[in-house]
């Protein structure tokens, strides 16, 4: 069983981390181990799962502090997110993750920015490729008042003068 430094610090806003998973645990263990080691001290983890065999046993044995919502029907990730949101305790902040995400040090700086700037309502950290962690997958999105979104990877790459990999041929 993984030992976690999951703590409760009532001075910090409670964050609910909702992780969606479906039909297997291929990436889930690495994701959960990573999330449990986060640098923030007041969070809960909720896994919303669709149709994974023996997921109850897997979570109970390996991550007993994690809340599991085991769905016995297939649904899309948006529905899983909504189910996790309804089950969350952290009403001020909710983080949505996929099961293939590895996040060593991410939550504390995100919450610090949100607490400092109440006008910000949605954030996305920089995301690197799981298969090749040196490749930047996205640097977030900008959404205007009309709902149009823009990938910021190109802006950050230009500002920071980093070369970026836009596409890579698969062999």
How large a percentage of the chain has pLDDT more than 70? 75
SS3 content of the chain, % helix, strand, coil (to 5): 25, 25, 50
Q: 1-117: what CATH class?
A: alpha beta
* pLDDT at 135 > cutoff 80: no
- Give the global pTM: 0.78
pLDDT tens digits for 46-91?
999 999 999 999 999 999 999 999 999 999 999 999 999 999 987 7
Task: Outline where the chain has alpha helix (H).
Answer: 28-36, 55-62, 77-87, 107-116, 153-160
**Boundaries of CATH 3.90.550.10 in the chain?**
1-117
């Amino acid at each position: 069983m993984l030992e976690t430094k999951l703590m409760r610090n009532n001075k910090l806003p409670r964050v609910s981390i909702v992780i969606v998973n479906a039909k297997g645990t291929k990436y889930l263990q690495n994701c959960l181990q990573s999330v449990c080691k986060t640098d923030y001290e007041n969070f809960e983890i909720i896994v919303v799962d669709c149709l994974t065999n023996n997921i109850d046993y897997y979570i109970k044995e390996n991550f007993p502090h994690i809340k599991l919502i085991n769905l016995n029907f297939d649904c899309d990730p948006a529905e899983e997110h909504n189910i996790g949101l309804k089950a969350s305790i952290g009403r001020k902040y909710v983080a949505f993750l996929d099961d293939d995400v590895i996040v060593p040090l991410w939550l504390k700086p995100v919450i610090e920015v949100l607490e400092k700037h109440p006008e910000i309502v949605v954030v996305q950290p920089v995301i690197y490729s799981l298969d090749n962690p040196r490749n930047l997958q996205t640097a977030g999105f900008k959404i205007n008042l009309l709902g149009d979104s823009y990938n910021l990877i190109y802006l950050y790459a230009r500002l920071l003068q980093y070369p970026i990999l836009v596409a890579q041929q698969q062999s």
